[in-house]
Amino acid sequence: MLRATDLGFAYDARQPVLAGVSLEVRAGALVGVLGPNGSGKTTLLRLLAGIRRPTSGTVTLDGRPLHGYSRRALAARMAVVPQETHLAFDYSVMEMVLMGRHPHLGVFEVEGPADLAVARDALAATSVAHLENRDFATLSGGEKQRVVIAAALAQATDVLLLDEPTSSLDLGAQLDIAQLLVDLNTTRGVTVVVSTHDLALASGICRELVLLRQGRVQAAGATAEVLTAEQVRALYDVDADVHVHPVTGHLSVVPLRRAAR
């Protein structure tokens, strides 16, 4: 469905951020883009969402290059959840979520009852319906993230791209978001692409992984095949123990020590 072919991106020719990145996201997949800080995950997500144009290579959605879609058409197919949301102005939760309806509204059109219904549904799906009238700025980190996901849900897209959704959250909130993403993927059929450097999130929920190191794809494929001790060492310079966790049934990666050089 969403395919990247030989993607390259650079702000400055001497230091490319991404090079030769190819990957494919099938409909209904839950893909993780895993890599250390600075590996180019955010940039890759931006290119996949069509927010930036690559310096080389193409991204296609259903076989058509992204630049062949109008912005609104793209926005109706793909939604982005950024890493952090800092607001300069005090919007309410409902206002935030309703802003996700933008691609479906005409220039002067005001949100109607149908949009309101979609928004409420999105809030319910992310379990923050009770916060509808609160000011966004007064929420906790986890609540904020769920509201932002609700806004992306209200956009009613097939694809959801999230950039490090759990990096600034505490443990409980991390579990909530992880569970939410799985639910969205399995019950609503949303294709999820999530970038992270958190091994637990990657191994816990992603069925497929793309390992990104210094702007290049180190490995890509089913999690069970890709997430090995050798790959972890190559990616993070860390010796780790990778095994199937007896309770969760997922792969569990336990870091042991820095790798010997």
Tokens standing for 198? 């958190």
Task: Report the nearest approach of other proteins to the CB of residue 23 (Å).
Answer: 19
The residue from 19, 59, 111, 206 that contacts other proteins (CB under 8 A) is 111
Mapped onto helix, strand or coil, the DSSP state of residue 242 is: strand
For residues 187 and 26, the answer to whether their CB atoms sit within 8 Å is no
- 159 part of the interface to other proteins, by CB under 8 A: no
DSSP assignment of 17-70 equals EEEEEEEEE-TT-EEEEE--TTSSHHHHHHHHHTSS--SEEEEEETTEEGGGS-
What would you measure as the largest C-alpha separation in the chain, in angstroms? 62
Amino acid at site 45 = L
Can you name the residues that pair with 138 across neighbouring β-strands? Answer: none
Count of residues engaged in binding other proteins, rule: CB under 8 A:
40
Task: Report the nearest approach of other proteins to the CB of residue 65 (Å).
Answer: 17
Region of 30-38, 93-101, 175-183, 248-256 interacting with other proteins (CB under 8 A): 93-101
Neighbouring CB atoms inside 10 A of 150's CB total 29
The residue from 20, 29, 57, 102 that contacts other proteins (CB under 8 A) is 102
Q: Which residue, 91 or 168, is less far from other proteins as judged by CB?
A: 91
Task: Report the nearest approach of other proteins to the CB of residue 152 (Å).
Answer: 8
Region of 24-32, 78-86, 180-188, 191-199 interacting with other proteins (CB under 8 A): 78-86
The residue from 63, 113, 172, 246 that contacts other proteins (CB under 8 A) is 113
Region of 76-84, 188-196, 199-207, 227-235 interacting with other proteins (CB under 8 A): 76-84
Q: φ, ψ for residue 221 (rounded to 5)?
A: 155, -165
Question: Across the beta sheet with 15-25, what order do the strands follow?
Answer: 15-25, 2-12, 56-61, 64-65
Region of 17-25, 59-67, 68-76, 244-252 interacting with other proteins (CB under 8 A): 68-76
Q: Interface with other proteins by CB under 8 A: which residues?
A: 11, 46, 49, 51, 71-72, 74-76, 78-80, 82, 85-92, 94-96, 98-100, 102-103, 105, 107-108, 110-113, 115-116, 155, 161
